[in-house]
Chains A and B, each alone.
Chain A
Amino acid sequence: MAFDFYVSTMWSVLKALPLTLEIWFFGIAFGLVIATGLTWLRASGSKLGEYFTRAYVFIFRGSPLLVQLYLIYFGLSQFDFVRHSPILWPILRDPMYCTIVAMALNTAAYESEIFRGALRAVPVGQIEAAKAFGMSAFTRFRLVTLPIALRLALPAYSTEIILMTKATALASVVTIMEMMGTAQKIQHDTFRPIEVLTCAGVIYLLLNLSIARLFAWVEYRLSPHLRPPPEQSQQIRPVPEVL
């Protein structure tokens, strides 16, 4: 009896997984684009760029994502010009787009800080060597700075992606029936919170487990120089334990 309920709930929540993944994917994709822009602005050395990125990070990192989501979904539609704008209104009247926008803006703040730290941590000597061998600024960035910075950013970036996976649950408060929204509806219909929320929680756990493993694998593939030298590596477990 209880087992049947678990199976049917699991199945109903899983049917909402594609929607969760959609929010997740577009949120982090647009977030990455914005974060790249912010990082570039911050690293460009322009004072204006620095003030802008600092203010941006202050605002979007300092306030709750839920507040940002509410402001975007409920708040912006209060303005006439938003409702009459042919570009803004189609985006901001749709709760799905609003969630993606809020997530992208929010994660961009964190990611730009992660990238800034990673860029600063690239050993100066290796960049100097690239300079001394006549590489142009672009070649230097592509061959030396970027590959090293990416490896440095990866652990913190994967944490941010996992946080974003969990943040997709907030979409349920603006009427989206993704996994959390679906789970809440079943819970209201059946008054069986333990079973329903356990199902949702387990799916989130498994989702994050696979994301963490994926990042661990990428990190492993990208960091052969941080592993023991070739003749010893046979004795070492190939993939580090995560989670």
Chain B
Amino acid sequence: MSANVAAAAKAAPPPGDKSAISVRDMRKCFGDHEVLKGISLEAHKGDVISILGSSGSGKSTMLRCINLLETPDSGEVRVDGELIKMKQSRDGRQMPADIRQVERIRANLAMVFQSFNLWSHMTVLENLVAAPTHVLKRPRAECLEQAEALLKRVGIWERRNYYPPHMSGGQQQRAAIARALAMNPKVMLFDEPTSALDPELVGEVLRVMRSLAEEGRTMLVVTHEMGFARDVSSKVMFLHKGEVDSVGEPKEMFAKPPTPQFKQFIANFNK
């Protein structure tokens, strides 16, 4: 089985210059439960891909396998054409071969989490400066200047000296997006960024995300926001039971659902 996958990977043409993220035949089990059953994904520069699916379909796991917060059992991930090197550990599981490479790639893939995960003991400004200074080794003064500009952009500059627990969910998530932007990432990963927010706070976060999409950033967005998927994204990917059920242009996908599963899925949302 794994020999076949390796052969297929070799035979496949190398991803083009425009490829930002390329995932091939990714599999992941948690115990006996197979969450990802061979997922492939191609994101070009400037793509905004909305990843949809009911809960348990594997969409968050897929996102977390791309930056190796979870280790995929098999399959390959390329970021900007660079293959993340994996090796077999002693118990036969796959693990990253070079943790330095993983850390370098993660620094290019900023992530925005469902529960914000801002560092609670740092002010908003410190949150934005921490990774650029310590990971990218950029000068602190320059990072501070950029951080203030980013906070102005997401509209919470007045809150720059606040600690995360003192802000609303929407403000925290906008701070988390600014923190991700401060890394000047090549690709941004959003893991259900609005799912933990009160309904009236969802709009402010979506507005920021929409503006990012409009300036041509490459984004993978796991979301339940059908409006965002339909109107903002350049591609929609629907996962069903750990497999890619359908991929396509958002307008076409929503106008003419290509599979009964996707039709059922959007019907549930329109109810």
Contact = CB atoms under 8 A, between A and B. Distances in A.
A134 B113 contact: no
A224 interface: yes
B69 A131 contact: yes
Contacts of A230: 161-162, 166
Among B99, B108, B109, B131, max chain A CB count under 10 A is at B131
A13 interface: no
A19 B162 CA distance: 45
Given A148-B120, A151-B121, A135 B113 contact: no
Interface in A111-155: 123, 125-126, 128-136, 139, 143-144, 147-148, 151
Contacts of A139: 134-135
From DSSP, what is the main secondary structure of chain A's interface residues?
helix
B interface, over-half SS: mixed
Interface size class of A (residues with CB under 8 A): 20 to 34
B201 to A, nearest CB: 17
Contacts of B117: 123, 125-126, 128-129
B119 A144 contact: yes
Interface of A: 123, 125-126, 128-136, 139, 143-144, 147-148, 151, 222, 224-226, 228-230
Given A132-B106, A132-B110, 13 more contacts: A125-B113, A125-B115, A128-B113, A132-B69, A133-B107, A133-B131, A133-B135, A133-B183, A134-B107, A134-B108, A224-B163, A225-B164, A230-B161
30 contacts: A125-B115, A126-B118, A126-B120, A128-B113, A129-B111, A129-B117, A131-B69, A131-B106, A132-B109, A132-B113, A133-B130, A133-B131, A133-B179, A133-B183, A134-B106, A134-B108, A135-B134, A136-B99, A143-B119, A147-B121, A222-B121, A224-B163, A225-B163, A225-B165, A225-B166, A226-B165, A228-B166, A229-B163, A229-B166, A230-B161
